[in-house]
A and B are shown apart, each in its own frame.
Chain A
Amino acid sequence: DAGVIQSPRHEVTEMGQEVTLRCKPISGHDYLFWYRQTMMRGLELLIYFNNNVPIDDSGMPEDRFSAKMPNASFSTLKIQPSEPRDSAVYFCASSFRDRAGGYTFGSGTRLTVV
């Protein structure tokens, strides 16, 4: 099992550009989560999916952020246009519901917007 796979590992972009982060969850997991981590705010849940359907996106900061899960093995988080305050590490995690919280996190994407 390769675990949760995220790409890219690092992204540096200029303010105003579109950024797309990608995630492949563990096969068989039915929940997928996008988190953002900063020194100031810690680990924040942005959105989560269950069986590819978005369930709660109340953590998405604003309309510049969007997430999709077109199938069980792929999800994207898009920021358009990006701003310097979006700089953070973005984690994707997946779980199988019955494990009640034993998430597996990906290695994260470190985003820097200059």
Chain B
Amino acid sequence: EDKVVQSPLSLVVHEGDTVTLNCSYEVTNFRSLLWYKQEKKAPTFLFMLTSSGIEKKSGRLSSILDKKELFSILNITATQTGDSAVYLCAVNGGGGSYIPTFGRGTSLIVHP
């Protein structure tokens, strides 16, 4: 059974801090790893990673994958209150279909 574990479960920081969110996984036939941001409603897609060592970047957010050690990190620099959300990690594996397994998420709260 595919498994995705995120840490920490929750994090409280002040604006301007840098945070690192972790995602480790066990999956058969890894295809891709996905990061989503979930505010009050639906998860919104952030990144898809397929290759080790190649950083994906979008503004203050960046992510990297290590396929040897089976983990990914999501970094957020100079955090803002608008970054407060649950960050979900998901991994695609298994057979021929792209059906991800989601982790439980990391709840990030950024105080002004």
**Does any Cβ of B come within 8 Å of A65's Cβ?**
no
Contact B103 A50 (CB under 8 A): no
Closest to A40 in B: B104
Residues in B whose Cβ lies below 8 Å from that of A95:
98
Known: A43-B102, A101-B90, A101-B92. A108 touches B42 (CB 8 A): yes
Q: Within the complex, which residue of A33, A97, A102, A106 is in contact with B42, where a contact is CB–CB below 8 Å?
A: A106
Convert A14-44 into 0s and 1s, putting 1 for each residue whose CB lies closer than 8 angstroms to a CB of B: 0000000000000000010100000000110
Residues in A whose Cβ lies below 8 Å from that of B31:
100-101
Residues in A whose Cβ lies below 8 Å from that of B88:
43
Contact A100 B48 (CB under 8 A): yes
Residues in B whose Cβ lies below 8 Å from that of A105:
42-44
A99 to B47 Cα, complex, angstroms: 12
Q: Within the complex, which residue of A50, A91, A99 is in contact with B97, where a contact is CB–CB below 8 Å?
A: A50
Centre residue among A43, A45, A91, A102 by max chain B CB count within 10 A: A43
Known: A42-B104, A108-B41. A101 touches B97 (CB 8 A): no
Contact B97 A102 (CB under 8 A): no
**Does any Cβ of A come within 8 Å of B99's Cβ?**
yes
Q: Within the complex, which residue of B50, B99, B103 is in contact with A42, where a contact is CB–CB below 8 Å?
A: B103
Convert A85-114 into 0s and 1s, putting 1 for each residue whose CB lies closer than 8 angstroms to a CB of B: 000000100010101111111111000000
Known: A50-B97, A108-B41. A101 touches B34 (CB 8 A): yes
Contact B102 A102 (CB under 8 A): no
CB of A14 to closest CB in B, whole Å = 26
Centre residue among A50, A55, A105 by max chain B CB count within 10 A: A105
Residues in A whose Cβ lies below 8 Å from that of B50:
100
A residues at B contact (CB < 8 Å): 4, 31, 33, 42-43, 45, 48, 50, 55-56, 91, 95, 97, 99-108
7 interchain residue pairs of minimum CB distance:
A105-B42, A42-B104, A43-B102, A107-B41, A100-B98, A101-B34, A101-B92
